[in-house]
Amino acid sequence: TPNLIPAPPLLRVPLQPDFQDELFQGKWYVVGLAGNAFNKEENSQFKMYATTYELNEDNSYSVTSTLLRNQRCDRWIRTFLPSFQPGQFNLGNIERYPGIQSYTVRVVATDYNQVATVFFKKVYKNREFFKITLYGRTKELTQELKENFISFAKALGLTDDHIIFPIPIDQCID
């Protein structure tokens, strides 16, 4: 098992002020992806996927990711439960995910209608993994937004090797 770049303490990860859970709903394309278990070389052909957030009555989100895999559309659904402050969540039904000891989600920044950055941290089999996503309401974002994402990833200790920009596709995610 390779060594992992340590996950930053949550306190060092910004939180979107006055997070609006209703406005964050809907479909987000994963325009950028970075994490301590990602490798640019191994993932050079990584295809874009989309994640949809739908608010439930109890203020949890149903979170559905749709990915093209082996010529089929795979769907992954999980629940994010609101945590102690708006914009922060924990994975619901964690007992259904063998090996996962904790899973925290934090919306770093968003304007709701164009772009978002979200931080995810999980403890899996006693190892701490983290990733950040650059979400877009569209499949393309400006170079400036992508560069801001790269800077943020590097501020968290990641390098260019850990940052990927998935290839836009039409299947499954439209």
Q: What residues make contact with ligand DKA under the rule CB under 6 A?
A: 30, 51, 63, 65, 78, 91, 97, 100, 103, 120, 133
Give me the residue whose beta carbon is nearest to ligand DKA: 51
The radius of gyration of the chain from alpha carbons, rounded to an integer in Å, stands at 15
Closer CB to ligand DKA, 34 or 63, in the complex: 63
Residue in 167, 170, 149, 166 with CA at minimum distance from that of residue 158? 149
CB of 122 to ligand DKA, least distance (A): 6
Closer CB to ligand DKA, 6 or 99, in the complex: 99
In what helix (H) or strand (E) does residue 153 lie, and over which residues does it extend?
Answer: helix 143-155
Mind giving me the DSSP string for 136-152? Answer: ESSS---HHHHHHHHHH
Closer CB to ligand DKA, 40 or 120, in the complex: 120
How far, in Å, CA of 120 to CA of 107, rounded? 9
CB of 160 to ligand DKA, least distance (A): 20
In the chain, the amino acid numbered 71 is Q
Neighbours of 74 (CB within 10 A): 12
Closer CB to ligand DKA, 46 or 120, in the complex: 120
Neighbours of 149 (CB within 10 A): 24
CB of 136 to ligand DKA, least distance (A): 12
CB of 46 to ligand DKA, least distance (A): 12
CB of 32 to ligand DKA, least distance (A): 11
How far, in Å, CA of 77 to CA of 79, rounded? 7
Closer CB to ligand DKA, 7 or 91, in the complex: 91
